[in-house]
Amino acid sequence: MEVPGTIMSLISRLKKEFSDPENMKDAERGVAMGLIVGTILAAFITTSDFLALNFDYIRNQNPYGVLWTWLNPMFWTDVPYRIYTTAFLFAAEAIQWYFFVRTHKMSKFLFYAGWFQSMIWMRGSVFQNVTVTAFAPLGSLFPWLIIPFMLLQKIPLGWSWNGSDAHWWCAFTGNSGFTSGDTITFPNGQQLISCPGGWLRWNPSYSWFWSYAMIMFWLIMPLLFYLKKRNRGKFVTYGAEETEQPQLAQAIWNGDSWIFLDKNWICTFCGEWKELLSERSFWFDDRFFCKECYDQLDSCPGCSMETMYCVCGLEEIGDVETQDQCAKDIAVDRAQANLFKSGLWE
């Protein structure tokens, strides 16, 4: 039996199986159902960090911002807080799905990965981080809004103007060691110091460090998705030296056709480098269409130039309402594109 040949055959079969749109839809439904069931199980078989949070609540020193306190009522309790946090998470996912994922404005990968992160918080008894990262995937669309939203929760801001309050002290100074400061005794006899200092929080042997690492991930990753979208339609000029100089793409209408000003262009639709001066390649609304993608887009009656999503060709949209709206908008979109190509669109 040839093991390498068998493996390659299995990989080929799997690739063929998952290239089927219907199979991909079934797989996505399975992922969504798994996350729903997993979230409920994680919420109700795990206790929250209520002993430590209740201790900080009594002493008015919880190491989070005022915004976090507003978004986390009953954080000093166990079961009520778990129920509230679960409801908050499902509401956040529903909002993101309906307004951004369903309309193809936000990456499905970020959406499901963000949901999985919230499930990790719950299973690890860190329910207090759910509101911090629940909307983090939206940072790929609105980083100027979502990043401050996360930081204003995680950093104890709003309690005093100069950081002289107990909340700031608990988060950034804390007690110096297990022999100083108050300790919290859990039902299993484990003791934990209240407001541990950085020596413990930044130690990779403890969970605090990895919580901070995951929050940093959700600050950075959606921002990278946002920057990737922003950089579409840019090209690189290669000089004599081993350097690259990014520049905004430009096009000049000479009366008969478009003249492109550099060697290659990144197609906004397929993301591939394309040669310049290709017939029917053009710029529209800060987006560059290569010939192949525009030909497919132009031949599809359900494609929208504005959204660049296709209901029957390049990108399938299963939602009937979206298809109807796309069909209504297509005439206006094509008219704008034709005006632009003819030099009449400003």
DSSP letters along 188-214, please? TS-EEESSB-HHHHT-TTSHHHHHHHH
**Full-model pTM:** 0.64
The confidence score (pLDDT) of residue 254 equals: 43
The confidence score (pLDDT) of residue 326 equals: 54
| Residue 37 pLDDT exceeds 90 | yes
Tokens of 111: 């959406």
Are the CB atoms for 175 and 193 separated by under 8 Å? Answer: yes
Q: Give bridge partners of residue 236 from the DSSP assignment.
A: 246
What band does 312 get if pLDDT is binned at 50, 70 and 90?
very low
Are the CB atoms for 280 and 291 separated by under 8 Å? Answer: yes
| More confident: 117 or 12 | 117
What band does 270 get if pLDDT is binned at 50, 70 and 90?
low
Three-class DSSP category at 173 = coil
| More confident: 187 or 246 | 187
Distance CA 185, CA 188 (A): 8
Distance CA 87, CA 39 (A): 10
The confidence score (pLDDT) of residue 217 equals: 96
| More confident: 226 or 302 | 226
The confidence score (pLDDT) of residue 41 equals: 95
The confidence score (pLDDT) of residue 317 equals: 43
- Residue with token string 């919580």: 211
C-alpha of 142 from chain center = 10
